[in-house]
Amino acid sequence: MKNIAIVLGVDKYTAASDLPSCQHDAELMESFLSATGKYSVLRLPNDVDKHKALEMIADALSGGDEIGEVLFYFSGHGVQDNDMHYALCGTRVDAINSTTLNNAEVDAVVRKVSPTLFVKVIDACQSGLSYIKGLGETIAEDMDLQAKDFENCIFLCSSRSTQSSYTGNPYSKFTKAIIDAVDYVPSQTVKYSDLQNYLSDTFGKEPCDQTPYFNTQCDGTEVFCEKTPEVIALLQKLNGTVQPAVPEAPSGADRVAAYLKSCREEHEVREIMDGIVRFMEEQVLDDDLLTAFYDFSCESSVPYIYHSYREDRSIVKMLYGRPTSENLFVNIECTSVKQNSILGEWYATYKKEPISFTPSANEVPYVRAFHLKAKDKNLPDYVIPFVFVYSPTFFYVFTCSKQFLRKGWNEYEESQGTKYTYTKFEYQEYSEQKWQEYLKSRLQQSVEYVRKTLLEFIP
């Protein structure tokens, strides 16, 4: 599986102030990403125009190889209206759409190859864009829809939509902090969650009108890089730090022993889930508007059969292939989809397509749902499901927010909702505090979504 990194830094502008640090930012990111050995790196020329940039990106992603991760990095001026525009050397104010690299255009090219993970690192003014419907600072409704075909995505933005991002000498503050995060993390493996934690701490230490903005549609524990000898050498040269030598790979016996140590038996997982369910059942609706018009409860099944979470495309596609690779206790049902050939009917092939899943760990809860049932049937109902999928060493939890509208005196159908996102909880690292913080955050996001769509429902 091939990983592609696309790097663009624009330092000179014909209709805006020059940003010398952006040239250095791009050079640094190109060198670093190459040193990881993880990516095939495409460095776009600083003075590239819109059409050439899209052509080069498309060429880099072509070739028939299965694409694992696509990482897009940009440093330069940013312009935002109903989309994010990456300003190029020849960008003109009177022709923004024609002379910038538009966010939607980059998405469209990447979407064609269906990467397992899509990562964007944007170091620009007005870079805080929201991709996941119902979460974060929504800039425009149509922007939320652009990510609907990306199963897993991570976006690291240097500032929120109303802020500027600071340059430095020789690097921009945000870009340099990303590299410093790799240096700071003590483990050999650096995860995207490590980057987010370090960036939040770094920019939160003192009053600052640059606040990094993160959007994730995955659990954030995906691996950013390994500290290869080349990475360590680059960090030493950049920061003058002395990193420990790369440890030898563990022996086969050590790997087996470490795996067995991380496994949990059924009664141990049931004990964890008892605490999870108990805390969910203790939750109350802390919102005056919604409390006035809704009854709130935690239920052991999804209230409406119209929402078939076992057939939800985002969950099924994410799980497909993982029962074996991750030892998940789940069965995936597939169908055969015919793929026609330009050579004619005789050359048509069939591809397995996942269509549904069935939990096989029936001894523990696999779904809980918060139900906001309208006290008056003329208002929409809402459901916030939490779907659990287990393995011997961890569990996934999938969640979203769904609106149901009445289509008869006693009939409802699913109207709209956010896309399922998932989070991974390792048993070894699990704590009730982590779960409680996670649940409170998710509930707050769902309450904001319910308030917003309820007021939109009212004529």
Q: What are phi and psi of 22, to 5 degrees?
A: -65, -30
Residue 289's nearest CA partner among 374, 224, 349 is 374
Amino acid 321: pLDDT? 76
| 370, 383 Cβ separation under 8 angstroms | yes
Beta strand spans in 285-435 (E): 294-299, 330-339, 349-359, 367-374, 381-390, 394-399, 402-406, 412-417, 421-426
| 117, 217 Cβ separation under 8 angstroms | no
Q: What are phi and psi of 334, to 5 degrees?
A: -125, 160
Amino acid 219: pLDDT? 66
Dist. CA 253–CA 272, nearest whole Å: 29
Alpha carbon of 64 to those of 109, 112, 198, 223, 353: distances in Å? 15, 12, 36, 24, 19
Render pLDDT for 23-47 as a digit per residue (tens, 0 to 9): 999 999 999 999 999 999 999 999 9
Dist. CA 134–CA 138, nearest whole Å: 8
End-to-end Cα separation, the chain, in angstroms: 50
The dihedral over CA atoms of 387, 145, 440, 401, expressed in degrees to the nearest 10, equals -50
Render pLDDT for 219-249 as a digit per residue (tens, 0 to 9): 667 899 999 999 999 998 887 755 555 556 6
Residue 382's nearest CA partner among 423, 409, 420, 412 is 412
Residue 58's nearest CA partner among 42, 38, 36, 73 is 42
Render pLDDT for 172-211 as a digit per residue (tens, 0 to 9): 889 999 999 999 999 899 999 899 889 888 876 555 556 7
Helices (H), 326-414: none
Amino acid 66: pLDDT? 84
Mean pLDDT confidence for 276-301: 95
Amino acid 170: pLDDT? 79
Question: Which CATH code is given to the segment(s) 2-239?
Answer: 3.40.50.1460
Amino acid 340: pLDDT? 61
- H or E segment at 244? none
Domain boundaries, the chain: 2-239, 266-457
Q: What is the pTM of this model?
A: 0.56
Dist. CA 107–CA 125, nearest whole Å: 20
Specify the 3-state DSSP secondary structure of 407: coil
DSSP string, 4-50: EEEEEE----SSS---HHHHHHHHHHHHHHHHHSS-EEEE--TT--H
- Of 216-220, 232-236, 251-255, minimum mean pLDDT range: 216-220
* Whether pLDDT at 142 is above 50: no
Structure tokens at 198: 């370090």
Beta strand spans in 65-212 (E): 67-75, 78-80, 84-87, 100-102, 117-123, 153-157, 189-191
pLDDT band at residue 162 under the 50/70/90 scheme: very low
Say which residue the tokens 């460095």 belong to: 43
| 152, 218 Cβ separation under 8 angstroms | yes
Q: How many C-beta neighbours within 10 Å does residue 427 have?
A: 17
Amino acid 149: pLDDT? 60
- Which amino acid would we find at residue 43? R
Burial of 121 (0-12, 13-18, 19+ CB in 10 A): buried
Average pLDDT, the chain: 84
